[in-house]
């Protein structure tokens, strides 16, 4: 009977030791997983911050390019307006020259053949 009791106690102690080892192993595994999770959370936060800064840099570049495009567009419009004004002035001068030439032909009686030659030269 005594040996049976001794055997039961030994089995109980052995089971208790095994249970403690299992608990210890599980605890270490939980700690390891927690540390790994913290490490990944830090990495994720760093990547997120880098991504945010890149997005801000791209937005800044986009805004600069958008302003530059608007400026080029304004310059193009103002250049076109200036070109149109210059064209109108040249046309008025040409019309004035043609009317003066016509007046000269009438006044001095220059031949029509010469007038036509002058007109062809001014057109071409």
Domain boundaries, the chain: 2-123
pLDDT at 66: 92
Is the pTM higher than 0.75? The answer reads no
- Please say if the pLDDT value at position 73 is more than 90: no
Q: At how many degrees (to 10) do helices 112-123 and 2-108 cross?
A: 170
Segment 80-90, tens digit of pLDDT: 888 889 999 99
Residue 101 predicted with pLDDT over 80: no
Instruction: Find out whether 122 and 98 touch, Cβ atoms under 8 Å.
Output: yes
Q: What is the pLDDT of residues 6-57, one digit of tens each?
A: 787 788 888 899 999 999 999 999 999 999 999 999 999 999 999 999 999 9
């Amino acid at each position: 009977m005594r040996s049976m009791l001794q055997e039961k106690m030994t089995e109980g102690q052995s089971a208790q030791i095994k249970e403690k080892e299992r608990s210890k192993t599980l605890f270490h595994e939980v700690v390891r997983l927690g540390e790994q999770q913290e490490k990944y959370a830090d990495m994720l936060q760093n990547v997120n911050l880098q991504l945010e800064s890149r997005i801000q840099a791209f937005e800044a570049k986009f805004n600069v390019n958008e302003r530059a495009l608007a400026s080029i567009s304004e310059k193009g419009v103002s250049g076109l307006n200036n070109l149109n004004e210059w064209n109108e002035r040249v046309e008025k001068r040409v019309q004035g020259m043609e009317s003066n030439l016509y007046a000269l032909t009438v006044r001095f009686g220059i031949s029509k053949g010469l007038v036509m030659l002058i007109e062809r030269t001014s057109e071409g």
